[in-house]
């Protein structure tokens, strides 16, 4: 199950909400389109460009699962 996917955790240690970005191709190998699943909000995002960003609450965290579509 976890062989064709990667997980990314984003942490915000600041006192304000932050928009944190990362390059999907730096994490997942291959593919031109990716599915990013928000593990806690239970929402799916389709990414066709390499960059993905998410808002993270102050002193908060987000966890995402990345798979090649």
- Tens of pLDDT, residue by residue over 11-33, are 999 999 999 999 888 886 666 78
Nearest to 46 by CA among 20, 64, 29: 64
- pLDDT over 70 (residue 2): no
pLDDT digits (tens, 9 = 90+) for 36-56: 999 999 999 988 778 899 999
Structure-token match 């966890």, residue found: 63
Long-range contacts of 26-31 (CB under 8 A, 24+ apart): 27/66, 28/66, 28/67, 28/68, 30/68, 31/68, 31/69
pTM of the model: 0.86
């Amino acid at each position: 199950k976890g062989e064709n996917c990667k997980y990314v955790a984003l942490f915000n240690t600041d006192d304000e909400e932050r928009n944190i970005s990362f390059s999907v191709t730096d994490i997942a190998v291959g593919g031109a389109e990716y599915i990013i699943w928000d593990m806690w909000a239970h929402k799916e995002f389709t990414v066709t460009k390499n960059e993905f960003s998410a808002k993270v609450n102050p002193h908060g965290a987000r966890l995402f699962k990345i798979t090649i579509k």
